Structures are given as structure tokens and as C-alpha cells.
Amino acid sequence: MKKVVVIGGGTMGLDIAQVFARNGFDVVVRDIKDEIIQASEARLNKGLDKMVAKGKMDEAKKADILAHMSFTTDLGQAADADLVVEAAIENLDIKKSIFAELDKICKPETILATNTSSISITAIASATKREDKFIGMHFFNPATVMKLVEVIRGAKTSDETYKAIADLSVTIGKEPVEVNEAPGFVVNKILIPMINEACDLLYTGVATAEGIDTAMKLGANHPMGPLALGDLVGLDVCLAIMDTLYNETHDPKYRASLLMRKMVRAGLLGRKTGKGFFDYTKK
């Protein structure tokens, strides 16, 4: 594999693209509007400059990463990709329409992967005629740092495709874990309901946001409190995952917190909008 196309230049897409570029792959990031592409490129430069300033990267490595990355709004650039990793918004219809188009554009051997946090791999794959070459490649936030990739098999994913993506994950410095399709896969089935519980504790006035996070850091030895983690993941993403868990199982324990839904409606999504449970505008 040489050329990777990443669909979506948001929180996850940009970092996933960077991981591939750092490991010598040619990466094209595709998003829907020029402004979004420009903002994404500016975020990349800012992030790399920060690494250089902190002495974590030299100018040569920065230049090398930039030389391996390009940005576009043209989906046609996926035609000769060896792998496409989709990291657009967490919505089944949008993901299906992206992959239906990619299926027509890409060469027959291209593997199509989705970074979905919770949506059925089989359901997304059904939009294509290459369900054997379709797979979940689930990175964690921030993808440049977190070691895990959940490699998720859809109903028709071939062993060959699974092996190619598990091996590729190792090549880019990650640790793959094989997962069979299930709502929320492994990590989010456990983690997002915990964030949801923290949200309910806040809503019902059991403790303050700072108190809840301190309690979990000191009492459960978590490196980050659940509300700060919700802000990092994005509350829209958390809500989409809770709704998927609930809709797939109809188990009331997965009902999204009313506060989480209210905050998403208000655009208080966490770090990416500057405010969530905590305020990031002054940092």
C-alpha cells in the first residue's frame, strides 16, 4: 500500500492522515468545502509547529510529513488509492452515500475502511459492491498518540482484508485488536455509557463537573475525568454513540442523558466548539 485517502479533515481525519504521512504513506485528505480544507491545513501546520517548538520533532520531519500530505474537495482523487479511511460525521446515510460513490470511483482492489465509532460496519458496507473489501478501522482520539486500532469485521469482510488492515496497523505503529461487529464495538460500549453516567450525575446535581472528574481521576485512577473526556471526544459523537447503542439494543440503560442531548442542541460540543462541560476559549 502506498496511497491513502482520508475522507473528512475534522478531529479524527486530520490526525489519522498525519499518522499515515508520518509513516511514509502518501495521504490525501478530502473534505466538502474549501474553507474546511483550509482550516484543516492550518490546524496541521499549527500542530506541527508546536511539536517543533517543544523539541518533539525537527524541521526535517515536519517538512517530510507535509510533503506526504495534500488536501482536496475532489473525491475523484480516490481513484488510484490503495486504501480509503472514512472519518466523516457519524451518520449512517452520509457514510453510505460516501461509500456508494467511492465504490464507483476506486479501483477494484482498493480497501474501504470506516473510522465509525458505533455504526454497523455491515450496514455501511451494504452501500458498496465490495463488502469483502470493507472493514472498520477504528482509531482513538488523539489518533497521533493513542496506540489502539479496533479492526472490525463486517458480516462479509474477507480474512485477506482483515489481515491487510491488521498488518497495516502494525506498520503505522499501532496495536490492532480484532473485533466482531457489535454496537459500540469494545471500547465505546464501556466508555461512552460511563461519560453518559457522569453527565447524569451533573444533571441531577450530585456533584459539580470538577467534582465528578476529580472523583474519577483520584478514585478510579483514570488519567482524565469522564466529562473532560466527553469534551475531547465531542458531545455530538458521544450522543450519536449512545443513540446507536439504544436503537440497536432497546436497552434503557443506554438512554442518552437529557443534559447531553440539550448541550448538543445548544452547540456546546466540547473542545471543538470551545465550550462543553468546561470552557476552552481562554486556554
Q: Which of residues 103-162 bind ligand NAI (CB under 6 A)?
A: 115-117, 139-141
Q: Report the distance separating Cα 49 and Cα 66, nearest Å.
A: 11
- Among candidates 16, 18, 30, which has minimal Cα distance to 148? 16
Which residue among 115, 120, 131, 138 is the active-site one?
A: 138
SS3 of the chain: helix, strand, coil, percent, to 5: 50, 15, 35
Q: At 149, phi and psi to the nearest 5?
A: -125, 120
CB contact at 8 A, 135 and 153? yes
User: Is 8 an interacting residue with respect to ligand NAI (CB under 6 A)?
Assistant: yes
Q: Which of residues 168-197 bind ligand NAI (CB under 6 A)?
A: none
Beta bridge partners of 72: 30
Residue type (1 letter), 220: A
User: Is 257 an interacting residue with respect to ligand NAI (CB under 6 A)?
Assistant: no
User: Is 77 an interacting residue with respect to ligand NAI (CB under 6 A)?
Assistant: no
Which of 42, 67, 89, 190 binds ligand NAI (CB under 6 A)? It is 89
3-state secondary structure of 180: strand
Q: Which of residues 195-254 bind ligand NAI (CB under 6 A)?
A: 233-234, 237
Minimum CB separation of residue 55 from ligand NAI in Å reads 27
138 catalytically annotated: yes
Minimum CB separation of residue 91 from ligand NAI in Å reads 8
250 catalytically annotated: no
**Is the backbone peptide bond immediately before 142 cis, with ω within 30 degrees of 0?**
yes
- Report the interface residues with ligand NAI, using CB under 6 A: 7-13, 30-32, 36, 87-90, 94, 98, 115-117, 139-141, 233-234, 237, 272
Q: Report, as residue numbers or ranges, the catalytic residues.
A: 117, 138, 150, 188
